[in-house]
Amino acid sequence: KVLLEVKDLTAVIAESQQRILNGVNLTVHEGEVHAIMGKNGSGKSTFAKVLSGHPDYEVTGGTVAFKGENLLDMEPEERSLAGIFMSFQSPVEIPGVSNADFLNMAYNARQRKLGQPELGPIEFFTYVYSKLDLVNMKTDFLNRNVNEGFSGGERKRNEILQLAVLGAELAILDEIDSGLDVDALQDVAKAVNGLLSPQNSVLIITHYQRLLEYIKPSYIHIMENGRIFDCKLGRVQQLTLRRYLLQKFTMPVGRI
Ligand code: ADP
Ligand code: MG
Ligand code: MG
């Protein structure tokens, strides 16, 4: 089943009207892991932010359907409630709010949207406790204020914990690997792998190949100049890249 379908998506920076996305096409089915790679400045984060409804950008053309609904019509909160989770390159601190309370609020908001029962603080603690192992964190992680004084690795783990708690169908992980040492990277990768299911899909955005040694994507896409390109490479380059990616990751390569 198709989860996300992006067609000819174009977008500009709201303030300057500078065009960043030049016709992005991407189809993600349930259970797939897609990686988008590409040089710094190619538009990867812009694409992720446009999907999450970031106000810095204006969509000027194309369509995005999520579970068959028009995503572009939804407010950012609605997108998240609909099941899109977006990890941030620099997660914000929320002083005075404990991680447990924050996660509980986010969880209950999604449950309400789904018409499912909410959990009180004690029941929620039991629920979230069961997820801590996944991100290799101790209980005190829940009592600390959201991201306050967290190391880079802890912030990334916290993002994955949020994802685990919310159970979003589509996780967009933008440079979840940046600034992590190998241990933290492996922890994060293990956690993401632990969350994969036939229903959940992940869009991994990175400009390093390292992460893809631990998380095996179903498809790798290359973004360049605001497009995920099909056959823009010459035949020889295409074959070389395809062979390289196949050798390295033993996986099919999409849209190259
Ligand atoms: P990537 O994530 O692939 O490194 P980005 O999407 O962050 O690329 O950026 C693509 C291009 O758009 C870059 O040239 C960047 O400077 C520019 N850009 C993106 N967002 C903004 C913004 N809010 N204001 C100004 N320039 C931006
Ligand atoms: Mg960048
Ligand atoms: Mg980026």
**pLDDT tens digits along 162-218:** 899 988 999 999 988 888 888 888 888 988 898 899 999 999 998 777 788 888 888
Q: What's the whole-model pTM score?
A: 0.88
- Is 255 a domain residue? no
Number of separate domains in the chain = 1
pLDDT level of residue 233 (50, 70, 90 thresholds): very low
- Is 256 a domain residue? no
Determine if ligand 1 sits within 6 Å of the CB of residue 40.
yes
Share the mean pLDDT of the chain: 86
For residue 256, the model assigns a pLDDT of 40
Concatenate the DSSP letters of all residues of 204-250 into one string: EE-S-SGGGGTS--SEEEEEETTEE-SS-S-HHHHHHHHHHHHHHH-
For residue 222, the model assigns a pLDDT of 85
For residue 129, report the distance from its CA to the centre of ligand 3, in Å. 32
The larger pLDDT score, comparing residue 253 to residue 37, is at: 37
For residue 36, report the distance from its CA to the centre of ligand 3, in Å. 11
Residue found by looking up tokens 């004084």 in the block: 149
CB 14 within 8 A of CB 59: no
Ligand with the closest atom to the CA of 87: 3
Name the residue range of residue 175's domain.
2-249
- Is 75 a domain residue? yes
pLDDT level of residue 236 (50, 70, 90 thresholds): low
The larger pLDDT score, comparing residue 151 to residue 226, is at: 226
Apex 160 CA angle, 155 and 166, nearest 5: 125
**CATH code at position 211:** 3.40.50.300
For residue 31, the model assigns a pLDDT of 92
What is the average pLDDT across 220-227? 88
Residue found by looking up tokens 């390289």 in the block: 244
For residue 104, the model assigns a pLDDT of 93
For residue 171, the model assigns a pLDDT of 95
Determine if ligand 1 sits within 6 Å of the CB of residue 46.
yes
- Is 226 a domain residue? yes
- Is 254 a domain residue? no
Q: Which of 119-128, 153-162, 170-179, 244-253 reaches the highest mean pLDDT?
A: 119-128
For residue 53, the model assigns a pLDDT of 93
For residue 87, report the distance from its CA to the centre of ligand 2, in Å. 15
- Is 37 a domain residue? yes
For residue 231, the model assigns a pLDDT of 39
Q: pLDDT for 40-93, tens place per residue?
A: 899 999 999 999 999 999 999 999 999 999 999 999 889 988 999 998 766 777
pLDDT level of residue 232 (50, 70, 90 thresholds): very low
